[in-house]
C-alpha cells in the first residue's frame, strides 16, 4: 500500500466521530485530530513546493502547540500525525521521535491502529523506504558518510528488513570501515534469523534466503582476512558450506582456514571435493589452487590450476601458478610443457625463463635444446614481473612492473597486449608505453582491456 493510500484511509476514518474509545492512552479521534487530518489531506493534494511545505508547516505548528499546551499530549494519534508530517517533509529523525512517543503512550500502536486504520509500523515502513532510497542515491554517488547516515535512519525507523543493514555494510566497506562492515552483516543476519520478521510472501522468503547466504559469505570472507578472528570465520563459512555444499568459493576459504588452524585432514577433504567437481566455475578452481599453493600441497595446486586452464586456456596468471606448483612438486617434464606455453604469452619473464632452463637441463636436454632459452635470457634488456589480471564483467585490466636491466633511462618501451575471451579467442589489443626507469630500478604499469565480455587471458609483445 502506498503512503498516499495509507494517508487517505486515515483521513477517511477520522472524519467519522462515533464510538470514541474511553481508554486514556488509546489513539483518540478528537476535533483537533480530525481537523489536522483534513489539513493533511489538503496539503497532500498540493504539488511539491513552497505552498505544500507551508501548508504542512501550519498543521505541524498546530499539533506542536496542542501537545505543548497539554491538550493532545496524551493522545497517541496526535504524535502519529506529527510523525506522518515529518515524514512527508523528509524530517526522519523528528518522525522517529514522534512514532516512539506514540508507541510509548500506546504500546500496541506498531501493529494495532486502535481507532485508526494505519499503524505506526506501516508508517515506519514507509519512512524506511524513503530513507533507504535516499541512502541508495548517496551510495551511488560514492558519498558513503551520507549514505550510512540514512541507512542508519532507515534502520531506526524500521528494523525488520535486512536490506538497509546489507547496503550499509557495502558502504562502510567502501569507506574502509571493516569493523563496522562486519557488524552490519551480523545485524542483517539477525533480522533474517528472527522468526517474527519473516515475510508472508513466499517470493520474499526466497529472497531473504538468498540474502542470508550472501551475508554469510561476505561476513566469512571479511573475518577470514583478520587472523585473530579466524575461528569466527570458520564458524560462519562452515554454515555456508553445510547449507550449500556446491559453494566452492566458501569451501576454498574454509579449507584454507582449517589448514591454518591445524585441521589439515578436514581442509584436504574440502579441497578434494572442489577438485572432484567438474561443474564448478573456473574462478573457484583458481581460488582453490591459490589456497592449496599456500599450504604447499603442490600436486593438488597444480591440478587445480590445470582445471582453470581447461576452461580459460589463455589465463596467464593460472599458467604461471601452475609452473611454480609443478616445479615445487618436482614434476619437471610436465613443467617444461607449461612453462613453454607461458613464455609464448609472457616472453620477458626472467624467473620463468630460468625455471624453464633449469628444468630442461635437469631432464637431460642437449645444448641444442638449451641454447634458445639461454639466448633469450642473455638478451633480456628489461624484465616484466608481478603481472596480475583483474577480470571485469566487461573487459578487464592487467598490472605489473618493468625492471630496467640494460635500457637507457628515459627510453620509451612499448608493449602491445593482446587479450582473449574465456575460450582463448583474441578479442582485442591495447598498447602501453612505459618510460624506462634507472638501471636495476622498477616502474609500474597498467593495461586496460575494453570488451563486451570478461577478459579471460592476455599476452604481450615488445613493439620496436
Give per-residue pLDDT as tens, 34-76: 999 899 888 888 888 888 889 989 999 999 999 999 999 999 9
Q: Please state, as a whole number, how many other Cβ atoms lie within 10 Å of the Cβ of residue 445.
A: 17
Q: Please state, as a whole number, how many other Cβ atoms lie within 10 Å of the Cβ of residue 209.
A: 12
At 398, is the secondary structure helix, strand, or coil? strand
pLDDT at residue 107 in the model: 92
pLDDT at residue 113 in the model: 87
Task: Write the CB contacts of 204 (distance below 8 Å, at least 6 apart in sequence).
Answer: none
pLDDT at residue 450 in the model: 94
The Cα-based distances of 197 to 117, 160, 167, 189, 209 in angstroms read 21, 6, 19, 12, 13
Q: Kindly report the CATH class assigned to 382-463.
A: mainly beta
**Distance (Å, whole) CA 328 – CA 111:** 66
Burial class from Cβ neighbours inside 10 Å (0-12, 13-18, 19+) for residue 289 reads buried
**Distance (Å, whole) CA 19 – CA 28:** 10
Rg of the chain taking only CA atoms, in angstroms: 32
Q: Measured on CA atoms in the order 142, 146, 147, 148, is the torsion positive or negative?
A: positive
pLDDT at residue 268 in the model: 85
Second-level CATH architecture of 3-158: Alpha Horseshoe (1.25)
DSSP strand pairing (426-435 vs 412-420): antiparallel
Domains of the chain: which residue ranges?
Answer: 3-158, 382-463
Nearest to 321 by CA among 273, 348, 285: 285
Q: Please state, as a whole number, how many other Cβ atoms lie within 10 Å of the Cβ of residue 453.
A: 15
**Distance (Å, whole) CA 287 – CA 318:** 10
List, as one string, the DSSP characters of 44-112. Answer: HHSPTTHHHHHHHHHHHHHHHHHHHTTSSTT-HHHHHHHHHHHHHTT-HHHHHHHHHHHHHHSGGGGT-
Q: Which of the 8 DSSP states describes residue 27?
A: -
Burial class from Cβ neighbours inside 10 Å (0-12, 13-18, 19+) for residue 301 reads buried
3-158 and 382-463 agree in CATH topology: no
pLDDT at residue 408 in the model: 96
At 252, is the secondary structure helix, strand, or coil? helix
Contact 64, 71 (CB under 8 A): no
pLDDT at residue 43 in the model: 85
pLDDT < 50 regions, the chain: 1-23
Contact 327, 355 (CB under 8 A): yes
Question: CA dihedral defined by 187, 137, 171, 394, rounded to 10 degrees?
Answer: 120
DSSP strand pairing (412-420 vs 457-463): antiparallel
Amino acid at each position: 500500500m502506498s503512503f498516499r493510500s495509507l494517508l487517505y484511509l486515515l483521513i477517511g476514518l477520522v472524519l467519522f466521530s462515533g464510538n470514541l474509545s474511553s481508554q486514556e492512552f488509546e489513539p483518540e479521534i478528537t476535533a483537533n485530530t480530525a481537523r489536522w487530518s483534513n489539513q493533511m489531506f489538503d496539503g497532500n493534494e498540493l504539488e511539491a513546493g513552497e505552498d505544500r511545505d507551508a501548508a504542512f508547516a501550519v498543521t505541524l505548528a498546530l499539533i506542536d502547540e496542542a501537545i505543548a499546551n497539554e491538550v493532545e499530549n496524551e493522545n497517541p494519534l496526535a504524535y502519529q500525525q506529527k510523525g506522518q508530517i515529518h515524514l512527508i517533509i523528509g524530517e526522519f529523525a523528528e518522525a522517529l521521535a514522534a512514532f516512539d512517543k506514540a508507541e510509548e503512550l500506546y504500546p500496541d500502536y506498531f501493529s494495532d491502529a486502535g481507532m485508526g486504520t494505519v499503524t505506526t509500523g506501516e508508517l515506519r515502513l514507509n519512512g524506511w523506504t524513503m530513507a533507504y532510497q535516499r541512502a541508495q542515491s548517496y551510495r551511488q554517488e560514492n558519498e558513503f558518510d551520507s549514505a550510512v547516515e540514512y541507512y542508519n535512519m532507515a534502520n531506526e525507523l524500521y528494523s525488520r528488513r535486512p536490506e538497509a543493514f546489507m547496503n550499509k555494510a557495502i558502504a562502510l566497506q567502501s569507506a574502509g570501515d571493516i569493523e563496522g562492515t562486519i557488524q552490519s552483516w551480523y545485524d542483517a543476519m539477525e533480522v533474517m534469523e528472527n522468526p517474527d520478521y519473516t515475510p508472508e510472501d513466499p517470493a520474499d522468503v526466497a529472497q531473504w534466503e538468498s540474502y542470508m547466504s550472501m551475508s554469510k559469505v561476505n561476513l566469512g570472507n571479511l573475518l577470514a582476512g583478520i587472523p585473530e578472528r579466524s575461528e569466527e570465520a570458520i564458524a560462519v563459512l562452515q554454515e555456508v558450506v553445510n547449507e550449500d555444499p556446491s559453494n566452492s568459493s566458501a569451501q576454498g576459504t574454509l579449507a584454507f582456514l582449517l589448514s591454518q588452524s591445524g585441521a589439515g585432514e578436514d581442509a584436504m577433504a574440502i579441497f578434494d571435493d572442489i577438485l572432484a567437481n567438474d561443474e564448478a566455475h573456473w574462478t573457484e578452481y583458481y581460488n582453490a589452487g591459490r589456497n592449496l599453493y599456500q599450504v604447499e600441497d603442490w600436486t593438488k595446486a597444480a591440478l587445480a590450476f590445470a582445471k582453470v586452464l581447461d576452461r580459460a586456456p589463455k589465463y596467464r596468471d593460472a599458467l604461471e601458478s601452475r609452473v611454480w606448483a609443478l616445479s615445487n612438486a618436482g614434476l619437471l617434464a610436465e613443467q617444461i610443457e607449461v612453462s613453454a606455453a607461458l613464455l609464448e604469452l609472457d616472453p620477458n619473464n626472467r624467473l620463468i625463463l630460468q625455471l624453464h632452463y633449469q628444468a630442461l637441463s635437469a631432464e637431460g636436454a642437449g645444448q641444442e635444446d638449451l641454447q634458445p632459452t639461454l639466448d633469450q635470457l642473455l638478451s633480456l634488456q628489461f624484465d616484466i614481473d608481478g603481472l596480475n589480471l583483474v577480470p571485469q564483467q566487461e573487459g578487464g585490466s592487467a598490472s605489473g612492473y618493468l625492471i630496467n636491466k640494460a635500457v637507457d633511462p628515459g627510453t620509451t618501451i612499448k608493449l602491445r597486449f593482446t587479450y582473449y575471451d574465456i575460450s582463448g579467442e583474441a578479442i582485442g589489443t591495447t598498447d602501453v608505453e612505459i618510460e624506462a626507469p634507472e638501471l636495476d630500478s622498477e616502474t609500474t604499469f597498467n593495461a586496460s582491456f575494453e570488451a563486451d565480455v570478461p577478459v579471460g587471458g592476455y599476452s604481450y609483445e615488445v613493439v620496436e
